[in-house]
Structure 1
Amino acid sequence: MRTITLAILLGTAAIGASLAPAASAQDRPDQKAFFQVYKELVETNTTLSSGSCTQAAAQIGARLKTAGYADSDITYFSVPDHPREGGLVAMLKGSDARAKPMLLMAHLDVVEAKREDWTRDPFTLVEDGGYYYARGSTDDKAQAAIWADAMVRFKTGGYRPKRTIKLALTCGEETTFAFNGAEWLAKNKPDLIAAEFALNEGGNGLLTEEGQRKTLFLQVGEKAAQNFTLLATNPGGHSSQPTPDNAIYELSDALKAVQGYEFPIRFTDTTRAFFAGNAAAQPGPMADAIKRLLADPADSAANAVVSASKTYHSMLRTTCVATLLNAGHAENALPQRATANVNCRIFPGETVDATLARLKALAGPKVTVTANQPVRPTAVPPSLDPKILGPARAVAAKHFPGIAILPLMSTGATDGVFFETIGIPVYGVPGLFIGADINRAHGLNERMNVKSLYDGRDYLFDVVKAYAG
């Protein structure tokens, strides 16, 4: 999961029930069985540098086989030049051939973690103070373990869904140049994953600092992530005789132009519904500004108020920001070359080419701008489909009474973009409540609230059955 929007939406809705720490949330036999799946998956190193998604997929596959799945129900995949970055697709056949399948998706790979930086071994699951600590405990092995566990429970419990349920566990989501299993499946095995819709990461619920449930979010759409390189070159020379032409200064001017540019405000059905549903819970000036901006996106005074929130600012437009710099070759020489990486998060409906054209115009003639490879697909926002929103809300009313669900467009990017390009709308399901620190995902001492994990597991199990029939 490359980013989560939830972290600073603390003012979005009335506070719900308290999520008290759980001394032990593993009392039920099914919870104990799930913990073994979760623990094994988390403790299997799946970093790009030294881990193996292929091993993790094989372990999940073995559990599915023990549960009663036939060899024909499980497909392992990898490519020869990336043997440790494989995944699997599993299938529970439905009873109605006319009902289109649904797809559960999660990624097995995790961000790198150095033992010397962590308080604990990042690949040993430790429970402490109501949290599970380990790399991947949240992103995305909680989701992957819940989906795998659900598939096991469906089979061993004799559940026969109306529609076929598919599970895709892939690798490569966290690293730009890794073999990406979701992309490979979309290009090479589209029939294997064909589905009416997919359920993915990107949703969640939000906990306050006091551990109270706040709001549930169903991700309906996301931005596209794209990197661009800005390059300034110059013959250089001796630093004792500077000239007006200087690669560092030219690059700096281009970056200042990018910094000062605001892409125009855009709304999708999702973001319009999010802001409309969120306005009433905001303080007076913010609520008024949101309403005015919804009525007139060109209202600059309303924009200034709403965009003071960095999350709202990013949800309203494409954003581009400098993230890396490299310049010069000697301390006593004029720079011959200066480069910068600019990371853009492109709003649904806008394109990489149009963003590139805008950056070129901002950078000016002395700086070249190129789109970095790989160029990911532009996200295709799914619809606010009542067949998706309805069951999610109905099951939430049972598991989390009084907690509202809002549609959310993620300001980041997931592997859902690859499946959307072949016509599978992808939704980030809620259920797992996380803290404002995003459970330290991608950072040091990543953790998952124990009670949140087990409560979310129960919710997601029931919501899959609600969709499957």
Structure 2
Amino acid sequence: MRTTLLAAAGFLAVAACSTTSAPGAASTASTDPRAGEAEFRELYKELIETNTTLSVGSCTLASERMKARLVAAGYPESDLHILVNPKPNRPQDGNLVAILPGSNPAKKPILLMAHIDVVEAKREDWVRDPFKLTEEEGFFFARGASDDKAMAAIFTDSMVRFKREGYKPERTIKMMLNCGEESGDEFIGAKYMVENHLDLISAEFALNEGAGGRIDPDTGKYVYNGVQAGEKLYQDFHLEVTNPGGHSSRPVPDNAIYRLGQALAKVEAIQFPIEFNDATRGFFRRMGQITPGQEGQDMRDAADGENATAIRRLMLNPGYNALFKTTCVATQLNAGHAPNALPQRATANVNCRIFPGRTPTEIKQQLEIAINDAQVKVTLNGQAEAPSPPPNLTPEILGPIEKISEQLFPGVPVIPAMATGATDGRFTTPAGIPTYGVSGIFADPNTSGVHGLNERVGVKQLYDGRVFLHLLVKEYAGGK
């Protein structure tokens, strides 16, 4: 693995030797994948320092700033679109779509996706200001440094460079920067675009967040480069028990809190069936080849023969457990109206991550069967999302990823995966745009701080991902 990193570093160092031309000079702009790092850093900094939280931020402002860079690179207004939340009280929820026309209309476009909104962050909780880009000890620190302004900045930077260097792709390249991926049901930009502007973003396939490279935190070695094909369906269920209540000095057997507690214990005991798809089987098979000892053997046995004993051992790891099946877990409780009164109402939220191919209605029925109590009402929170089978990892998709990965990170395997969380791909894939998560940005997920405190991404890893995605998009788009 040391040889791998040195070889990759050598390739990237050679790329770094080139220089960029002045903005707008398409005929002389450098085509070296490492060119323009300083300008990229400024773009990344501007995006990071544009607050895009739901509470006080503005995705529209971020979209306008990225659009300005594209205009400066030579894009006409007709190829740039800012589409804003139609709700009159949310003009700050803006999405940006940019289009670089291809030369071959017979080839369908490729869509580059990233969300530009971020999770809330309080200055008093962070070591550094979360809305100022800070570089320390080989890392960039900021809210959104990784999730997902890294990919948003990389894609915007590539679109700028494509135009400046005079690149003429065969496929049309589209970029969509979304708002609302982190803000629940308030406004989901990808959903809005699919429902209202599908023609504008239609593509043969899309590249998105959802998978990255894994780095060994002790050695710094690159372990594998991940590619996501499919993700679990997110669904919250509302459990509710009501009764007349009364004075707490006169307790009765039918207590709403106890009844709800019993229902939740039954939910905890549900054993959803073990399932596989191409992504999860591929994950365990390829991970088994690079994982030593019993764990590696269990991975290979699970993938090749669905060995029950091996699977049980692997399921002791929460991350692996989530890949095998649907999971449902209680996440919120609310009960009672006074400390000296019997509760009249008790509610709980049960969050389920549903294995691809299963429906929320099907899982609701399983919850009701397990609880087996007519006084516990189970309802879906919000509108159920449309389930979709995971997109196929065809040679046409996987081949270019493996090619560029080997070119930059020799000997580091490409490993397919299924996201157990949720991305905007849950809207685009069912809409007919198969969406794959791949970034080439290597990280240790246990220390990246995504959605938590002191979010960070390695400086070298971010720049490596920039090269990887730039070359990958060109590989898919063709042309010269």
Tell me which interval the TM-score lies in, with the shorter structure as reference length: over 0.9
Which of 271, 275, 290 is the aligned partner of 1:262? 271
Which of 376, 392, 405 is the aligned partner of 2:385? 376
Residues 186-232 of structure 1: per-residue CA shift (max 9 Å, x gap): 01111100100000001210111132211110011110111001111
Q: CA RMSD in A?
A: 2.0
Say if 2:51 is the partner of 1:73: no
Q: Could you say which residue in structure 1 is the equivalent of 2:165?
A: 157
SS in 1 for 2:457: strand
Q: Could you say which residue in structure 2 is the equivalent of 1:247?
A: 256
Measured in 1, the distance between the counterparts of 2:205 and 2:293 equals 38
Measured in 1, the distance between the counterparts of 2:221 and 2:294 equals 26
Measured in 2, the distance between the counterparts of 1:215 and 1:315 equals 18
SS in 2 for 1:311: helix
Equivalence map 1:34-49=2 (5 Å) = 34-49=40-55
SS in 2 for 1:301: helix
CA separation of 1:438/1:427 partners in 2, compared to 1, >3 Å: closer, same or farther? Answer: farther
Measured in 2, the distance between the counterparts of 1:282 and 1:61 equals 44
Q: Structure 1 stretches of 5 or more lacking a match? A: 1-12
Measured in 1, the distance between the counterparts of 2:378 and 2:2 equals 46
Q: Could you say which residue in structure 2 is the equivalent of 1:53?
A: 59
Residues 249-303 of structure 1: per-residue CA shift (max 9 Å, x gap): 1111111111111100000111111111122333443344334434554x54333
CA separation of 1:174/1:14 partners in 2, compared to 1, >3 Å: closer, same or farther? Answer: farther
Measured in 1, the distance between the counterparts of 2:412 and 2:295 equals 22
Farther-moved stretch of structure 1 (184-193 vs 235-244)? 235-244
Q: Contact between 2:205 and 2:434, CA under 8 Å: does it hold in 1?
A: yes
Measured in 1, the distance between the counterparts of 2:435 and 2:121 equals 29
Q: Could you say which residue in structure 1 is the equivalent of 2:28?
A: none
Q: Contact between 1:432 and 1:455, CA under 8 Å: does it hold in 2?
A: yes
Deviation at 1:364, TM superposition (A): 2.2
Say if 2:241 is the partner of 1:235: no
Say if 2:111 is the partner of 1:103: yes
Measured in 2, the distance between the counterparts of 1:123 and 1:284 equals 43
Measured in 2, the distance between the counterparts of 1:55 and 1:425 equals 29
Measured in 2, the distance between the counterparts of 1:15 and 1:364 equals 59
The one-letter amino acid of 2:137's match is G
CA separation of 1:14/1:358 partners in 2, compared to 1, >3 Å: closer, same or farther? Answer: farther
Measured in 1, the distance between the counterparts of 2:132 and 2:193 equals 31
Measured in 2, the distance between the counterparts of 1:36 and 1:404 equals 32
- What is the TM-score when the length of structure 2 is the normalising length? 0.91
Q: Contact between 1:222 and 1:348, CA under 8 Å: does it hold in 2?
A: yes
Deviation at 1:381, TM superposition (A): 0.5
More relative contact order, 1 or 2 (CA 8 Å, 6+ apart): 1
Measured in 2, the distance between the counterparts of 1:49 and 1:374 equals 23
Say if 2:393 is the partner of 1:393: no
Q: Could you say which residue in structure 1 is the equivalent of 2:367?
A: 359
Q: Structure 2 stretches of 5 or more lacking a match? A: 21-35
Q: Could you say which residue in structure 2 is the equivalent of 1:187?
A: 195
Q: Could you say which residue in structure 2 is the equivalent of 1:317?
A: 325
Say if 2:392 is the partner of 1:404: no
Q: Could you say which residue in structure 2 is the equivalent of 1:133?
A: 141
- What is the TM-score when the length of structure 1 is the normalising length? 0.93
Measured in 2, the distance between the counterparts of 1:234 and 1:328 equals 11
The one-letter amino acid of 1:423's match is G
Q: Determine what percentage of the aligned residue pairs are the same residue.
A: 50
Residues 165-206 of structure 1: per-residue CA shift (max 9 Å, x gap): 000011000011221111111011111001000000012101
Equivalence map 1:199-348=2 (5 Å) = 199-210=207-218, 211-294=220-303, 297=306, 300-348=308-356
Q: Contact between 1:15 and 1:214, CA under 8 Å: does it hold in 2?
A: no
Q: How many residues align?
A: 453
Q: Contact between 1:105 and 1:198, CA under 8 Å: does it hold in 2?
A: yes
Which of 5, 30, 42 is the aligned partner of 1:17? 5
Which of 33, 37, 54 is the aligned partner of 2:39? 33
The one-letter amino acid of 2:311's match is N
